[in-house]
Structure 1
Amino acid sequence: MAERNQCLAGWMARHQMTAGELADAVNDAIAVFAGRRGRIGERTVFRWLSGENRWPQERQRRALERVTGLPATALGFAPRTRKESDVRRRRFVGVVAAGTTAALPLPAASAAGPPRVGTGDVIRLREALDGLAAQDAAHGGHGLEHAALAKAAEALALQQQSATQRVRQRLFALAAAFTATAAWSRIDAGQLDGADRHLDRALMLAGLAQDSEREMQVWNLKAMLARQRRDYPEAVAASRAARATAIARRSPLHASLAHARTAVGLAHAGDTRAALACLGRAEDTLDKADPAQPRAAWIAFYGPAELYSLTAIVRDLVGHPAQAEAASHRALAALPPAYRRNRALITARLALAQLHQGDIEHACATSGRVFTTMAGTPLPGRLRQTLGDFQRELIARAPARIAAEWSDRHRIEWSRP
């Protein structure tokens, strides 16, 4: 029995691509270098996935590599035995000698009909979205607004051209994601004016795409925005709207994030019992999530480390600073190295939890690690706000000399643009 090609299946799942869409993308790629579209269908893709076809024809491999940006071997394909390859090579040479020229590069103008927007365009834009997510993880979301809005406009311009309905919906979904990223850029920078406008537009685009994943992304950001504005009832309502989306109803990962976000809003609102109950539900549902399941770039950050981080916030807000400190340590231990901005934020909150326990010297030392973590990178607005909270509480709780020394020591790093 043939072994299923898990590598190709995983790539398709990450890019939310059906067998028919991959076939279309490969056919379009063949047209680029052969002058006419290929003719493979879903059946061929199913044979690749099942392992029945372990080494596609050369033209198909070349097109697959163009579509995915990966070598065929990284997609789970294995070259045939030498005997099989020799037989097929002799057949191929015979066909070429007979006068077949389909494999020769022809000018793009020889392809019939106007250029068509297809899955390749969707993949290209999704890779750009992943690139913005990587920048956010490393440096923070501030500064991404202009690039994100430009890509949203590109996606919307493409969907007005010749494309299938499925491709149009995906382009609407990408436009929603880029617009939400623009909103996040303002939120992370602490520039809250204008974020609402981006989020309302992103929610409309997600509706046109009929994409509940994007709808949840927007509601999650609306909850964060409302919390920064100290509108805690709206933060809780937005979190509950995120929990009501179709993706959260069927995905434990998404449901866990919605519960955790609700817990933070309730803790800020002073409802300790409800906040801790939501936190418990977030933990229970995350235990049911499959960590190996492919996920969209916007929620790639969420997992045990982020839940520990949100737990630390909730525990500190409800008056459990020792538990908040423990959760922060767990978050830092579990956090992947790529999330530098998140590491700095968790460290700042750890310092707050230590300060709330009266461990002033330790808290000052911990807070200094924030600047070390973000060395060479401007501090995002949200991180500045957290450090501002620390400074105000340090002034209120510590001797004036210690607070002044802390401010003097970090004034340069803090003021760096």
Structure 2
Amino acid sequence: MGLALAATAARPAAARTRIGSGDVQRLHTKFAEIIAKDHRQGGSLSIENQALGLAGEALGLLQRGSCSQRIQNAIYATAASFTSSAMWAATDGRRFDAAQRHFDRASSLAGMSGDQAIQFRIWSHAGSLYRHLARPVDALAANDAARRLTLVRRDPLFGALGHARHAAIHGVHGDLAAIRRCMGQAEDAFDRAASDEPRPVWMRAFFDQAELHSLATAAYLAAQDYATAEAHAHRSLVYLRPNLTRSRAITTARLARAQLGQGDLGPAVATATSIPGSSMDHPRVAGMLNSFTRALSEVAPRSPETRQWNEFTNARRTP
């Protein structure tokens, strides 16, 4: 018995699986699929859960295998990326308590990764989360955390996104001077950004002239500068890529509200009814259209346009 135990103890432990760049690339491919799905469906619980599952898959690799420090950092960055997508899906879907939990986890993972690009995404998304929660002080502080990263000084495109999101937050305060200043900084940084600079897939997937004008639309609409908001919305829709379904619906809803704010009832209703039915069910779009309905009823409760809109929305609810 003693010899048997000794022989067993002498056997070498099974070698741990070696994690390499191929594993990281496979995770990156799955992350790109999450990003594409988000821009088509945005805000769904299925995307949130899938992203969380993939974050767990990434972290599971570290528990089962061995790797270099560089690969370990890349795995943590990927797990943070998936968790940040879960955070954004929850924010977009108005599940704010879940979004806050995902933010806490994502920021911890990003800190362990040392990857400033994903740190920027997470803090910038936190700014958007707090803006949607009507907590502009927290939103500005979170977005400032993103804008203070050295990455922003190295790559003006990150600066452009940070400045434009700052403008949107200032819109909650109705601070037109701050909006103009931040949008001016955003446009200047965007013009200085090199188009061939390598950037993460999440940045390449959405940030361009269309998004710049979309954030300006959000800022000026919140500040009730409806004419300027309408101008930026039209420009955003011209530049918008065809695959960004959720973004098109959101910008179109903002355009309708900007037209209504100027008393253009007919164009406003025509714009609102042009949003595809499937996009109208997105939580953010639905919230915007509910706000549109209330504003229209307040401005012109007995107008033909209000009757037309009410008939349209009632018909959508009828099975």
TM-score normalised over the length of structure 2: 0.90
Hey, what's the Cα distance between the residues in 2 that align with 1:222 and 1:403?
Answer: 37
Cα offset for 1:293?
A: 2.6
Q: 1:376 to 1:246 in 2, by over 3 A?
A: same
8 Å CA contact 1:191–1:381 kept in 2: the answer is no
Hey, what's the Cα distance between the residues in 1 that align with 2:318 and 2:107?
Answer: 36
Give the residue type in structure 2 aligned to 1:391. T
Q: 1:379 to 1:297 in 2, by over 3 A?
A: farther
8 Å CA contact 1:145–1:181 kept in 2: the answer is yes
8 Å CA contact 1:187–1:382 kept in 2: the answer is no
Hey, what's the Cα distance between the residues in 2 that align with 1:146 and 1:277?
Answer: 39
Cα offset for 1:297?
A: 2.2
CA shift digits 1:306-345 (9 cap, x unpaired): 0111111222233432221111111001011110110011
Hey, what's the Cα distance between the residues in 2 that align with 1:197 and 1:176?
Answer: 13
Cα offset for 1:413?
A: 3.9
**Structure 2 match to 1:168:** 72
Size of the aligned set, in residue pairs, is 302
> What does 1:335-374 align with in structure 2 at a 5 Å threshold?
335-370=240-275, 372=276
The answer to whether 1:294 aligns with 2:227 is: no
**Structure 2 match to 1:222:** 126
8 Å CA contact 1:153–1:175 kept in 2: the answer is yes
Q: 1:380 to 1:415 in 2, by over 3 A?
A: farther
Hey, what's the Cα distance between the residues in 1 that align with 2:316 and 2:215?
Answer: 26
Give the residue type in structure 1 aligned to 2:313. H
Hey, what's the Cα distance between the residues in 1 that align with 2:316 and 2:29?
Answer: 33
Unaligned runs of 5+ in 2: 1-13
Cα offset for 1:388?
A: 1.6
8 Å CA contact 1:379–1:414 kept in 2: the answer is no
Give the residue type in structure 2 aligned to 1:386. M
**Structure 2 match to 1:280:** 184
CA shift digits 1:381-409 (9 cap, x unpaired): 11111112211111111233533431331
Hey, what's the Cα distance between the residues in 2 that align with 1:410 and 1:354?
Answer: 19
Q: 1:357 to 1:378 in 2, by over 3 A?
A: closer
> What does 1:1-400 align with in structure 2 at a 5 Å threshold?
114-143=16-45, 144-160=47-63, 161-300=65-204, 301-370=206-275, 372=276, 375-376=277-278, 379-400=281-302
What do you get for the CA RMSD once the two structures are aligned? 1.8
Q: Which has the higher contact order (CA 8 A, sep 6+)?
A: 2
Give the residue type in structure 2 aligned to 1:293. E
TM-score normalised over the length of structure 1: 0.69
Of 402-411 and 200-209, deviating more is: 402-411
Cα offset for 1:190?
A: 1.1
8 Å CA contact 1:180–1:202 kept in 2: the answer is yes
CA shift digits 1:266-298 (9 cap, x unpaired): 121122212211111011101111233332122
Cα offset for 1:214?
A: 1.0
Give the residue type in structure 2 aligned to 1:148. A
| Partner SS, residue 230 of structure 1 | coil
Hey, what's the Cα distance between the residues in 1 that align with 2:236 and 2:59?
Answer: 38
Hey, what's the Cα distance between the residues in 2 that align with 1:185 and 1:358?
Answer: 34
8 Å CA contact 2:217–2:230 kept in 1: the answer is yes
8 Å CA contact 2:280–2:286 kept in 1: the answer is no
Hey, what's the Cα distance between the residues in 2 that align with 1:310 and 1:219?
Answer: 17
Hey, what's the Cα distance between the residues in 2 that align with 1:183 and 1:413?
Answer: 30
Percent pairwise identity:
38
Give the residue type in structure 1 aligned to 2:256. A
Cα offset for 1:207?
A: 0.5
Larger Rg: 1
Q: Return the structure number with greater helix share.
A: 2
